[in-house]
Amino acid sequence: MPTPLPPLTVFDVETTGLDPRRGHKIIEIAGIRIENGSIDETKSFVSLVNPERDIPWEAKRVNKISDDAVKTAPGIEEVLPKFLEFSSGSILVAHNATFDMGFMEIEKQLCWGYVDLPDCLCTMRLSRALFPTEFGHSLDAVARRLNLTIPAARHRALPDVLLTAHALMKMMELGEIASIEDLQAICGIGVKA
Protein backbone atom coordinates (compact mmCIF):
# COMPACT_ATOMS: atom_id res chain seq x y z
CA MET A 1 0.00 0.00 0.00
CA PRO A 2 1.44 3.42 -0.94
CA THR A 3 2.61 5.61 1.93
CA PRO A 4 0.81 8.96 2.20
CA LEU A 5 2.95 12.04 1.83
CA PRO A 6 4.92 12.89 4.96
CA PRO A 7 5.51 16.52 5.90
CA LEU A 8 7.67 18.36 3.36
CA THR A 9 9.82 21.46 3.81
CA VAL A 10 10.23 23.47 0.63
CA PHE A 11 13.34 25.63 0.94
CA ASP A 12 15.57 28.00 -0.98
CA VAL A 13 18.90 29.74 -0.45
CA GLU A 14 20.15 33.03 -1.81
CA THR A 15 23.91 33.25 -2.27
CA THR A 16 26.83 35.52 -3.08
CA GLY A 17 27.49 33.59 -6.31
CA LEU A 18 26.96 30.32 -8.11
CA ASP A 19 29.74 28.03 -6.84
CA PRO A 20 30.31 27.22 -3.16
CA ARG A 21 33.64 25.58 -4.04
CA ARG A 22 34.89 29.01 -5.15
CA GLY A 23 34.07 30.64 -1.83
CA HIS A 24 30.54 31.79 -2.58
CA LYS A 25 28.32 31.79 0.50
CA ILE A 26 24.69 31.54 1.56
CA ILE A 27 23.19 34.92 2.49
CA GLU A 28 19.55 33.90 3.05
CA ILE A 29 17.66 30.68 3.83
CA ALA A 30 13.89 30.26 3.85
CA GLY A 31 11.56 27.31 4.18
CA ILE A 32 7.87 26.55 4.42
CA ARG A 33 6.13 23.38 5.53
CA ILE A 34 3.63 21.34 3.54
CA GLU A 35 1.64 19.16 5.92
CA ASN A 36 -1.43 17.01 5.29
CA GLY A 37 -1.25 17.94 1.61
CA SER A 38 -1.47 21.71 2.22
CA ILE A 39 0.99 24.59 2.29
CA ASP A 40 1.06 25.89 5.85
CA GLU A 41 2.19 29.52 5.62
CA THR A 42 2.09 29.79 9.41
CA LYS A 43 5.03 27.38 9.52
CA SER A 44 7.78 29.28 7.78
CA PHE A 45 11.45 29.98 8.39
CA VAL A 46 13.44 32.87 6.97
CA SER A 47 16.81 34.24 7.98
CA LEU A 48 19.52 36.36 6.46
CA VAL A 49 23.02 34.94 6.91
CA ASN A 50 26.21 36.93 7.38
CA PRO A 51 28.59 35.52 4.73
CA GLU A 52 31.58 37.24 6.37
CA ARG A 53 32.58 38.63 2.99
CA ASP A 54 31.34 41.31 0.63
CA ILE A 55 28.43 40.45 -1.62
CA PRO A 56 29.45 40.90 -5.29
CA TRP A 57 27.43 43.43 -7.26
CA GLU A 58 26.14 40.69 -9.58
CA ALA A 59 24.49 38.89 -6.65
CA LYS A 60 23.13 42.17 -5.22
CA ARG A 61 21.58 42.92 -8.59
CA VAL A 62 19.76 39.56 -8.61
CA ASN A 63 18.63 39.12 -5.01
CA LYS A 64 18.62 42.75 -3.82
CA ILE A 65 20.41 41.80 -0.58
CA SER A 66 22.98 44.38 0.50
CA ASP A 67 26.09 44.11 2.63
CA ASP A 68 24.35 46.32 5.22
CA ALA A 69 21.39 43.92 5.37
CA VAL A 70 23.58 40.95 6.35
CA LYS A 71 26.12 42.85 8.47
CA THR A 72 24.36 42.06 11.77
CA ALA A 73 22.79 38.76 10.65
CA PRO A 74 23.87 35.53 12.36
CA GLY A 75 26.47 33.31 10.71
CA ILE A 76 25.72 30.03 8.94
CA GLU A 77 26.90 28.08 12.00
CA GLU A 78 23.86 29.50 13.83
CA VAL A 79 21.31 29.64 11.00
CA LEU A 80 21.79 26.21 9.39
CA PRO A 81 21.15 24.20 12.60
CA LYS A 82 18.03 26.33 13.27
CA PHE A 83 16.77 25.70 9.75
CA LEU A 84 17.38 21.96 10.09
CA GLU A 85 15.52 22.00 13.41
CA PHE A 86 12.61 23.78 11.68
CA SER A 87 12.59 21.15 8.90
CA SER A 88 13.00 18.20 11.28
CA GLY A 89 10.59 15.35 10.63
CA SER A 90 10.07 16.32 7.00
CA ILE A 91 11.62 15.72 3.60
CA LEU A 92 13.38 18.69 2.02
CA VAL A 93 12.26 19.94 -1.40
CA ALA A 94 13.98 22.55 -3.57
CA HIS A 95 13.88 23.71 -7.16
CA ASN A 96 17.22 22.76 -8.71
CA ALA A 97 18.06 20.97 -5.47
CA THR A 98 21.63 20.23 -6.55
CA PHE A 99 22.40 23.96 -6.33
CA ASP A 100 20.87 24.51 -2.88
CA MET A 101 22.17 21.25 -1.42
CA GLY A 102 25.63 21.94 -2.85
CA PHE A 103 25.80 25.16 -0.83
CA MET A 104 24.44 23.52 2.30
CA GLU A 105 26.92 20.65 1.98
CA ILE A 106 29.88 23.06 1.88
CA GLU A 107 28.47 25.42 4.52
CA LYS A 108 27.72 22.62 6.99
CA GLN A 109 31.47 22.27 7.48
CA LEU A 110 31.30 25.51 9.46
CA CYS A 111 28.93 23.81 11.93
CA TRP A 112 31.72 21.75 13.51
CA GLY A 113 30.48 18.46 12.09
CA TYR A 114 27.28 18.48 14.15
CA VAL A 115 24.99 18.86 11.16
CA ASP A 116 23.71 16.05 8.98
CA LEU A 117 21.79 17.02 5.88
CA PRO A 118 18.69 15.04 4.97
CA ASP A 119 17.86 13.91 1.46
CA CYS A 120 16.15 16.38 -0.85
CA LEU A 121 13.55 16.11 -3.60
CA CYS A 122 13.95 18.26 -6.71
CA THR A 123 11.00 20.06 -8.33
CA MET A 124 13.08 20.71 -11.44
CA ARG A 125 13.35 16.94 -11.92
CA LEU A 126 9.61 16.68 -11.34
CA SER A 127 9.00 19.29 -14.05
CA ARG A 128 11.27 17.45 -16.48
CA ALA A 129 9.42 14.19 -15.80
CA LEU A 130 5.96 15.70 -16.18
CA PHE A 131 6.80 17.94 -19.17
CA PRO A 132 9.47 16.02 -21.10
CA THR A 133 8.87 17.88 -24.38
CA GLU A 134 9.23 21.33 -22.81
CA PHE A 135 12.57 23.10 -23.09
CA GLY A 136 12.64 25.33 -19.99
CA HIS A 137 12.48 24.04 -16.43
CA SER A 138 13.65 27.09 -14.49
CA LEU A 139 11.32 28.15 -11.69
CA ASP A 140 10.04 31.04 -13.84
CA ALA A 141 9.37 28.69 -16.78
CA VAL A 142 7.56 26.21 -14.55
CA ALA A 143 5.49 28.99 -12.95
CA ARG A 144 4.44 30.33 -16.37
CA ARG A 145 3.60 26.81 -17.58
CA LEU A 146 1.40 26.26 -14.51
CA ASN A 147 -0.18 29.74 -14.69
CA LEU A 148 1.24 30.76 -11.31
CA THR A 149 1.87 34.39 -10.45
CA ILE A 150 5.58 35.17 -10.29
CA PRO A 151 6.19 37.34 -7.19
CA ALA A 152 7.62 40.82 -7.56
CA ALA A 153 10.28 39.92 -4.98
CA ARG A 154 11.55 36.99 -7.07
CA HIS A 155 15.07 35.88 -6.08
CA ARG A 156 14.46 36.43 -2.40
CA ALA A 157 14.29 33.18 -0.51
CA LEU A 158 10.77 33.29 0.97
CA PRO A 159 8.93 34.40 -2.21
CA ASP A 160 10.87 31.75 -4.16
CA VAL A 161 9.92 29.12 -1.56
CA LEU A 162 6.24 30.01 -1.83
CA LEU A 163 6.38 29.88 -5.62
CA THR A 164 8.16 26.51 -5.51
CA ALA A 165 5.63 25.14 -3.00
CA HIS A 166 2.69 26.17 -5.19
CA ALA A 167 4.42 24.72 -8.27
CA LEU A 168 5.05 21.46 -6.40
CA MET A 169 1.41 21.18 -5.34
CA LYS A 170 0.16 21.90 -8.86
CA MET A 171 2.59 19.41 -10.45
CA MET A 172 1.62 16.73 -7.93
CA GLU A 173 -2.01 17.31 -8.84
CA LEU A 174 -1.30 17.18 -12.59
CA GLY A 175 0.82 14.04 -12.19
CA GLU A 176 -1.71 12.46 -9.84
CA ILE A 177 1.05 11.96 -7.29
CA ALA A 178 -0.41 10.96 -3.95
CA SER A 179 2.29 8.85 -2.30
CA ILE A 180 5.83 9.48 -1.18
CA GLU A 181 7.01 6.54 -3.30
CA ASP A 182 5.66 8.17 -6.47
CA LEU A 183 7.20 11.52 -5.58
CA GLN A 184 10.57 9.97 -4.75
CA ALA A 185 10.61 7.92 -7.95
CA ILE A 186 10.00 11.01 -10.08
CA CYS A 187 11.95 13.67 -8.14
CA GLY A 188 15.03 11.66 -7.31
CA ILE A 189 15.27 11.38 -3.56
CA GLY A 190 18.78 11.68 -2.29
CA VAL A 191 19.94 14.78 -4.14
CA LYS A 192 23.22 15.81 -2.58
CA ALA A 193 26.02 18.09 -3.62
pLDDT in tens, 100-129: 999 999 998 877 666 788 889 999 999 999
CA-based radius of gyration for the chain: 16
Active site residue 155: yes
Question: Domains of the chain (ranges plus CATH)?
Answer: 8-186 (3.30.420.10)
Active-site annotation holder among 24, 95, 137, 155:
155
pLDDT computed for residue 191 by the predictor: 46
CA distance 153 to 132: 29
| Residue 100 to residue 26: CA distance in whole angstroms | 9
Mean pLDDT of the chain, nearest integer: 91
Regions of the chain where pLDDT drops below 70: 1-2, 112-114, 188-193
**Cα(5)–Cα(104) distance, integer angstroms:** 24
Q: Which residues pair with 15 in a beta bridge?
A: 26
Query: In angstroms, rounded to a whole number, what is the distance separating the alpha carbons of residues 92 and 113?
Result: 20
For the question of whether the overall pTM of this predicted structure is more than 0.75, the answer is yes
Q: What is the pLDDT of residue 192?
A: 44
First to last CA, the chain: 32
Q: How far apart are CA 156 and CA 75, in angstroms?
A: 18
